A and B are shown apart, each in its own frame.
Chain A
Amino acid sequence: MNMFLYEMKSLRKSMIIWTLSMLGLAALYLSIYPSMAKDAEDFKKLLESYPEAIRAMLGINLDYIASLLGFYSMIFSFIILCGAIQAMNLGVSILSKESRERTADFLLVKPVSRTAIVSAKLLSALTTVVITNILFISLTTLMANIAKTEDFSVKLFIMINLTMFFVQIIFIAIGMVVSVFFKKIKNVLPISLGFVFGFYMIGALLVTDSSDKVERILSPFKYFDITYIIQKGNYEPLYLIIGAAIVIVSVSVSYIIYNKKDIHAVS
């Protein structure tokens, strides 16, 4: 418990900054929705002139774009990118920071098992994204209600927002498993940005329409198709399972490797 509280305290600042940035982004986009909704037809025409591949890449679906949910899902693909970076940063740094800040000799000499250390740190990373998402979802729902021109389904709105939470969990797990294979990570950001943008580009380039292509499995960004959610009102079970499997495998491997890892002297 003491480790968990300590981690939460040290993560507090970055959590606030990330949450505020994502909220700011959402507020910025939602603030232009009312004027866009007024000129919806012109806007649609403009987007129609884009090649279909580009539209698919940006997550634009013409049928829905004029509705609040459709508009939100377009801008949401950028917010989710932010969320993924936040989560990947958390995942990569949470264990590796002890070596980076050379405090491993302090913590790992305490009478606690490595398993307990990983658990406390994982739990603090998860708590951070849970808090981020609670704040983000409640405040964007409020914003959407202010920006709306006609009624929209709050349930669907929250379901769309929840996909960020799922993507974040996946990236925490990926970040953690990546970090345990490094002896020492000097700089977290290049690794986390590399992975996140890598997956984002794979998703954008390989999956140019939202059909059931197997390539989708390669990018966590494509596990949650927002058009599908708007149409069917639920998530695709297959990809929920794949996401869960990635998390379980990554976390288990992290525990195993970290438990067997040699912690070398500072130099």
Chain B
Amino acid sequence: MNVIEIKDLTKNYRKSRGIIDVNLNIEEGEIFGFIGPNGAGKSTTIRTLLGLIYPSKGTATIFGKNCIEHPDIRKELGYLPSEVFYYDNMRVIDLLKYSASFYKKDCTKRINELAEIMDLDLKKKIDDLSFGNKKKVGIVQGLLHEPKLIILDEPTSGLDPLMQQKFFDLIAQENRKGATVFFSSHILSEVQKMCSRVAFIKEGKIIKTEKMSTLQENSYKRFSIEAKSAINKEAFNMNGVSSFELKNNTANFIFKGNINSIMKKISEIELRNISIEEPDLEEIFMHYYAKED
């Protein structure tokens, strides 16, 4: 069963581009990554799912019901925005109780559990909390009603690495209990850790939806080498090398495939300097999908 179905979803803004013909299906129980650079349309897609903005064309359904027409589907939905803002003059516990009052079930136990995991002081005023602590309130607030669908929009910004880990553990736990997770991010490594499938969005369009396992088979590295003498371009004319740029004694390229073969090739050169990096996200998928377009 598909928990989320997005069909030909289009949103035009007067000034800026929104999203164009987005199609996505997210199955029950999976953790689905939604990856793209800032401004690609991730938030627009999510806000349509949440019923916050209205599509110009197409439909979005959650649990088979239209997101716009059925506000009650949001009973089973937990949302964590990238930036959290709450009523400042409230205490944390009051806000969480107010939040819980919308779901018509007793969430007190779960609130306490979550607060303990996230190390959150419930008695503090929201006003006095740091950005990271406000984020924790957001996490507890999004999960306190044990939703069947969790939507995360750039969830880790503002959390320290330790809390990020706790947060991911928490999401994984919810997932094991049966929750479907829709995880939007611009950080590939984050998504790589968690997700079973991933969709890339760029300039408002879905470029590709892919299984994570397929992506991981292809490990990409960006090489920069500086040699003592001129580099022979022909030497690097091998399988897996692409975006080759040669400038005097320095060469830049992306390599995909068995690392050993390229290392052997490089070892034949007298080097002055070398760096091997993870290419950034956009580089990978732009490069990866350029051929298929």
Q: Which residues of A contact B (CB under 8 A)?
A: 2, 6, 10, 101-106, 108-114, 260, 262-266
Contacts and interface: CB of A to CB of B under 8 A. Distances in A.
B71 interface: yes
5 contacts: A106-B86, A110-B99, A110-B102, A262-B52, A264-B47
Nearest to A260: B54
A111 B74 CA distance: 5
A112 B85 contact: no
Contacts of A2: 98, 101-102
Contact of A10 (B87, B101, B141): B87
B50 interface: yes
A109 B87 contact: no
Most buried by A among B47, B73, B79, B103: B47
A105 B85 contact: yes
B87 A113 contact: no
B228 interface: no
B53 A109 contact: no
Contacts of B101: 2
Nearest to B78: A109
Interface string B62-92: 0000000001111101010101011111000
A111 B72 contact: yes
A264 B88 contact: no
Given A101-B88, A103-B86, A260-B54, 7 more contacts: A10-B89, A108-B51, A109-B77, A109-B79, A111-B77, A113-B71, A265-B47
A111 B87 CA distance: 19
Contacts of A104: 52
B46 to A, nearest CB: 9
Contact of A101 (B81, B87, B103): B87
Contacts of B25: none
Contact of B73 (A105, A111, A262, A265): A111
A101 B53 CA distance: 18
B86 A110 contact: no
A122 to B, nearest CB: 18
B75 A106 contact: no
The main secondary structure of chain B at its interface with chain A is loop
Interface in B253-276: none
Contacts of B141: 106
B102 A112 contact: yes
Shortest beta-carbon contacts, A-B, top 6: A102-B85, A111-B74, A262-B53, A2-B101, A111-B75, A110-B102
A265 B52 CA distance: 9
Nearest to A263: B52
B85 A6 contact: no
B43 interface: yes
B181 to A, nearest CB: 16
B85 A111 contact: no
Given A109-B74, A111-B71, A113-B71, A266 B83 contact: yes
A111 B100 CA distance: 11
Contact of A112 (B43, B71, B83): B71
A113 B102 CA distance: 12
Contact of B43 (A10, A262, A265): A265
B219 to A, nearest CB: 34
A105 B99 CA distance: 12
Nearest to B79: A109
Most buried by B among A109, A111, A264: A109
A15 to B, nearest CB: 15
Most buried by B among A101, A106, A260, A262: A106
Nearest to A264: B53
A262 B54 contact: yes
A266 B195 CA distance: 27
B53 to A, nearest CB: 4
A31 to B, nearest CB: 36
Contact of A111 (B54, B81, B102): B102
Contacts of B77: 109, 111
A248 to B, nearest CB: 25
B144 to A, nearest CB: 12
A263 B43 CA distance: 12
A262 B73 CA distance: 19
Interface in B173-194: none
B52 A110 contact: no
Contacts of A112: 71, 102
A266 B102 CA distance: 23
A112 B86 CA distance: 18
B43 A6 contact: no
